[in-house]
Amino acid sequence: MPPDDTATSSSRPVVADLDRVHRWVDFGGTCRVVQQDADRAIIALCRCDGPEVERFTSADPAAVQYALGASS
């Protein structure tokens, strides 16, 4: 059977970065770009009242642009 591209070794679904940010904001959270270079950015996912919950690195230009727009 071919490997399943929708799961990691821990059997959790892999979520595209843009979908991850959209879902976070759709459920009331906020996001912001913490650091950015030419190839990737660090995106912080924050609670609706401001504190940061987690960060992740993304090379998805659409996710980075969405996070930049969401933080302005």
15-39 confidence digits (pLDDT tens) = 799 999 999 999 999 999 999 999 9
**Is residue 28 left, alpha or beta, with left meaning phi > 0 and alpha meaning psi from -120 to 50?**
left
State the average pLDDT over residues 2-12.
45
Residue 49 lies in a domain: yes
Residue 48 forms part of a structural domain:
yes
Segment 60-67 mean pLDDT = 94
Nearest CA-CA partner of 21 in 69, 72, 12: 69
Amino acid at the residue 68: L
Establish if 1 belongs to a structural domain. Answer: no
Contact between 24 and 18 under an 8 Å Cβ cutoff? The reply is no
38 in any annotated domain: yes
Q: Is 63 a domain residue?
A: yes
Question: In a 3-state reduction of DSSP, which class is residue 25?
Answer: helix
Residue 26 falls within a domain, yes or no?
A: no
Q: Looking at the domain assignment, is residue 9 inside a domain?
A: no
Residue of 22, 31, 29 lying closest to 56 (CA atoms): 31
Residues spanned by the domain of 47: 34-72
